[in-house]
């Protein structure tokens, strides 16, 4: 990458959907948005790989879709609103997907939110979490 690292890349646990990420995720997001149509959801679920081959995304992106590796998909340019369509296709909720991103059960995640959510303390910089 020729671009200097952006200041927001220092925020832990977050993949900002910026212009570069939007660029690499363009076809991936196109696939995710195709799931807004019932007939496409049905076709995808019947044979995921064949359906994914219709979109000119990378093999790494296809693998991450099939594994429902949500955080990997964010890193590879999926936007969270589009990812939600995949979770709904699976008959799951947004909160289920969010709980998987945070390595919690859905129940634990919902309980955390009801108790006031995640505090920003300890989550502002990668440095304070000992991440590079």
Partner 1 sequence: MAKIIAGVGTSHTPAIGAAIDLGKTKEPYWAPLFKGYEPAKQWMAETKPDVVIMVYNDHVNAFDFKIIPTFGLGCGDEFKIADEGWGARPVPSVQGYPELASHMIQSLVLDEFDMTIVNEMQVDHGLTTPMSLMFGQPKEWPCRVIPLAVNVIQYPAATGHRCFMLGKAIRRAVETWNEDLKVVIFGTGGMSHQIQGPRAGLVNREFDTNFLDGLSKDPDRLAKIPPLEYLREAGAEAIELVMWLIMRGALGEKAREVYRFYHIPASSTAVGTIILESES
Identified binder of partner 1 from the candidate list 63, 68, 71, 92, rule CB under 8 A: 71
Least distance to partner 1 from the beta carbon of 9, Å?
11
> Contact, 57 vs 27, CB < 8 A?
yes
Read off the tokens for 85. Answer: 């369509």
Contact between 19 and partner 1 by CB under 8 A: the answer reads yes
Identified binder of partner 1 from the candidate list 49, 118, 127, 128, rule CB under 8 A: 118
Interacting span for partner 1 (CB under 8 A) from 42-50, 53-61, 99-107: 99-107
Read off the tokens for 71. Answer: 């955080």
Read off the tokens for 92. Answer: 């799951």
Contact between 98 and partner 1 by CB under 8 A: the answer reads yes
HSE (CB half, 13 Å, CA atoms) of 78? 26
Interacting span for partner 1 (CB under 8 A) from 12-20, 47-55, 56-64: 12-20
Interacting span for partner 1 (CB under 8 A) from 42-50, 51-59, 61-69, 113-121: 113-121
Which residues touch 12 (CB under 8 Å, ≥6 apart)? 123, 124, 125, 126, 129, 131
d(CA 55, CA 99): 28
Contact between 3 and partner 1 by CB under 8 A: the answer reads no
Shortest CA distance to 15 belongs to which of 28, 31, 2?
A: 28
DSSP summary character for residue 3: S
Return residues touching partner 1 (CB under 8 A): 7-8, 11-19, 22, 26, 29-30, 33, 35-36, 71, 74, 79-85, 88, 94-95, 98, 101-103, 109, 112-114, 116-120, 123-125
């Amino acid at each position: 990458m020729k671009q200097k690292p952006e200041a927001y890349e220092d925020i832990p646990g977050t993949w900002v959907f910026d212009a570069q990420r939007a660029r690499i995720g363009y076809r991936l997001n196109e696939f995710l948005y195709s799931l807004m149509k019932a007939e496409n959801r049905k076709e995808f679920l019947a044979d995921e790989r064949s359906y994914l081959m219709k979109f000119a995304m990378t093999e790494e992106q296809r693998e991450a879709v099939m594994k429902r590796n949500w955080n990997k998909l964010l890193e590879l340019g999926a936007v969270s609103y589009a990812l939600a369509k995949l979770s709904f296709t699976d008959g799951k909720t947004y909160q289920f997907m969010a709980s998987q991103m945070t390595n919690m059960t859905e129940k634990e995640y919902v309980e955390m939110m009801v108790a006031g959510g995640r505090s920003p303390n300890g989550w502002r910089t990668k440095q304070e979490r000992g991440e590079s």
